[in-house]
Amino acid sequence: MGKVSEKAGVQQLVESFYNHGVKYIVFSPGSRNAPLVVSFANDERFKCFVIPDERSAAFYALGMAEQSGTPVPVMCTSGSALLNYYPAVSEAFYRNIPLIVVSADRPSEWTDHGDGQTIRQENVFQNHICAYTQLYETPNTEDQKWFNKRTMDEVLIQAKSPQGGPVHFNFPFTEPLYALEDKSAHEKKQDNFLEVMKLSPQLSSVQKAELQETWNNSSRKLILCGQMPKNGYLNEQLKQLANDKSVAVVVENTSNLQDRGFIHCIDRTISSFLEDNPELYQPDLLITIGGAVISKKIKKYLRQYKPKNHWKIGQEFPFMDTYQSLKKSIPMDANSFMDFLLEEGFNRNNSRYGEQWKQLDYLAQGNHEDYLMSVPYSDLSVFNLVLDAIPDHSNLHLGNSSVVRYAQLFDPIKSINYFCNRGTSGIDGSTSTAIGNTLAGEDKLHTLITGDISFFYDSNAFWNHHVPSNFRVFLINNGGGGIFNIIPGPRSSAQGEEFFVAKHSFSAKSIAEAFNVNYFQATSMEEIDNQLDVFMEIQDNDRPAIMEVFTDGEASGKILLDYLEKTKVKDVPELEN
């Protein structure tokens, strides 16, 4: 017979989580959260994980939520433990991922009175949270029971909504903390939980006519796609729109949209016209869908060469005006809106604007392939080899900073799912998020490509008993923050190497040994290539594997800048309408 905490508020939370589809629970070790631990760990309906480092634990939960599509709670003891969740909370906030924080707390009467592990926990994430509540540990009246149940439903519904994201439950607990009782002692039929019915927004006939008129009067239409999960139906819709010669569909690998009619590598293509012919590619109508866009160049370009009209599609952050030209925010899902654009009455092929984009992309791709034929050993050549080695139908996770930017220079792999923490673009939880994804997506191989600073910063991601055997890491160690060998400011600064690049000579070998992770290393293309087959196989000890690839950061930075210059198309095509 199962055991549960004697605290009735915790019993309510257990049933509420189950009713709202929670499958995974991540715990940070502690004592004040004992009523939560003993209740969820004794319940076979939940799969529980223990991650000692709180910052890592929150990113684990974020990765699980992203992969599973279900809300995932991360639970901690009182005090500063909670504050370590903040980086993941902010990432979840800007990506609308249903991360649930449950913090145990000391009785509120002891706040600011010198009691151990007691801080001001109430609504501590208020600037980056979608909903917050404080619960009764032992509701003594019917009103208190009603409050707990109603507020649990309300907060969890907010987490799962299209405008949702991270939420926070704060739970003050008094001692005793470890007292249990048989689950059946208070088990009874649960009341139906609150449901907010989902309604699809519809455009009125007047709105449709207005949007159609703008479309038909725009001969240069650019559809820019940011980060999103793979969406096969949307991919097919955009393929149809890309057949319109006046439409350019521009995507990044993290959008998980792929077709030969799309422009995939923005920076590789846009570099050709930024200096000499920027006005040739200025859109009349910009349509944006999805989340964050990585390319700084396209952001800068569209802010300077503004479209006459910009439509933002989606319910998340309706006032986000990335390109300083937002005219209409349309709170519809992308599939419904694209169906509308494909209806009769929309003019097609009223210019060759999209064809012009695609021709330039094609020419830049040819220069890209020519350059890679003779590129010296560097970060660029390593990416060329490593990306080609990623197995089909697997998941690829990208670290931030220079790693994700290098990856955007290469055409996407059609069967691959791309993941990256682009909500806040921080390096702090790339490995933990990737492993969390792997635990919730155990039927596929997951590969992380990361840089050395990001890897070392999040090395505690391996400090637990849950890192699975289907996880691989390509660690590109170029001796510091490679991005700062590329961007102009730090390169020209006397403090560049020490304060920006943070140059070092550390290796991950001892970290791999400490956490029982299989370790490979390489210092040349041949050494990488010769180990790939063994590296990708499931290891004999059923442990994950790291391949640390050593490159010269300064030389790699120079080669990348040379690549960006040499791959420019010299005679930018201008097609007649």
Nearest one of 65, 26, 49 to 423, comparing CA atoms: 65
Given this model, what pLDDT does residue 1 score?
A: 47
* Domain range summary for the chain, segments of one domain joined by +: 3-175, 205-364, 379-551
Judge residue 274's burial from the number of C-beta atoms within 10 Å of its C-beta, 0-12 exposed, 13-18 middle, 19 or more buried. middle
Query: Max alpha carbon distance in the chain (Å)?
Result: 79
Given this model, what pLDDT does residue 80 score?
A: 87
Architecture category of domain 379-551 in CATH: 3-Layer(aba) Sandwich (3.40)
Given this model, what pLDDT does residue 201 score?
A: 79
CA distance 63 to 482: 25
What is the CATH class of 205-364? alpha beta
Per-residue pLDDT of the chain (577 residues; tens, 9 = 90+): 478 888 999 999 999 999 999 999 999 998 888 999 999 999 999 999 999 999 999 999 999 999 999 999 999 988 889 999 999 999 999 999 999 999 998 777 777 676 767 668 789 999 999 999 999 999 999 999 999 999 999 999 999 998 899 999 999 988 888 877 887 644 554 556 677 777 777 899 999 999 999 999 999 999 999 999 999 999 999 999 999 999 999 999 999 999 999 999 999 999 888 888 889 999 999 999 999 999 999 999 999 999 999 999 999 999 999 999 999 999 999 999 999 999 989 999 999 999 999 999 999 999 999 999 999 999 999 999 999 999 999 999 999 989 999 999 999 988 999 999 999 999 899 999 999 999 999 899 999 999 999 999 999 999 999 999 999 999 999 986 555 555 555 555 554 454 555 677 789 999 999 999 999 999 999 999 999 999 999 888 899 999 999 999 889 999 999 999 999 998 777 766 6
Q: What are phi and psi of 387, to 5 degrees?
A: -65, -35
Given this model, what pLDDT does residue 43 score?
A: 93
Given this model, what pLDDT does residue 495 score?
A: 47
Look up the pTM and report it.
0.93
Which stretches within 390-466 are classed as H helix?
402-407, 430-440, 452-457
User: SS in 3 state form for 513-571?
Assistant: HHCCCEEEEECCHHHHHHHHHHHHCCCCCCCCEEEEEECCHHHHHHHHHHHHHHCCCCC
User: Mind giving me the DSSP string for 72-86?
Assistant: EEEEE-SGGGGGGGH
DSSP-derived 3-state class of residue 1: coil
Nearest one of 372, 562, 405 to 476, comparing CA atoms: 405
CA distance 439 to 1: 28
CATH superfamily of 3-175: Thiamin diphosphate (ThDP)-binding fold, Pyr/PP domains (3.40.50.970)
Judge residue 493's burial from the number of C-beta atoms within 10 Å of its C-beta, 0-12 exposed, 13-18 middle, 19 or more buried. middle
Q: Which helix (H) or strand (E) holds 149?
A: helix 142-160
Nearest one of 247, 340, 238, 245 to 290, comparing CA atoms: 238
Given this model, what pLDDT does residue 497 score?
A: 54
DSSP-derived 3-state class of residue 437: helix
Q: Residue 498: CA atoms inside 13 Å, Cβ hemisphere, count?
A: 2
Given this model, what pLDDT does residue 493 score?
A: 55
Q: Residue 174: CA atoms inside 13 Å, Cβ hemisphere, count?
A: 8
Contact 230, 57 (CB under 8 A): no
CA distance 352 to 289: 22
Nearest one of 35, 21, 16, 129 to 77, comparing CA atoms: 35
State the CB neighbour count (10 A cutoff) for residue 139.
Answer: 18
Contact 107, 118 (CB under 8 A): no
State the CB neighbour count (10 A cutoff) for residue 328.
Answer: 14
Return the residue matching tokens 């009125």: 204
Q: Is 205-364 in the same CATH topology as 3-175?
A: yes
What rounded mean pLDDT belongs to the chain? 90
State the CB neighbour count (10 A cutoff) for residue 531.
Answer: 15
CA distance 420 to 253: 10
Q: Which residue type, as a one-letter code, is found at position 432?
A: S
CA distance 222 to 56: 39
Q: Cα 37 to chain center, whole Å? A: 28
Q: Which two tokens stand for residue 529?
A: 């290539």
* Angle (nearest 5°) at CA 159 between 158 and 164: 80
Reported as a single tens digit per residue, the pLDDT across 24-82 is 999 999 888 899 999 999 999 999 999 999 999 999 999 999 999 999 999 998 888 99
Reported as a single tens digit per residue, the pLDDT across 445-483 is 999 999 999 999 999 999 999 999 999 999 999 986 555
CA distance 247 to 349: 8
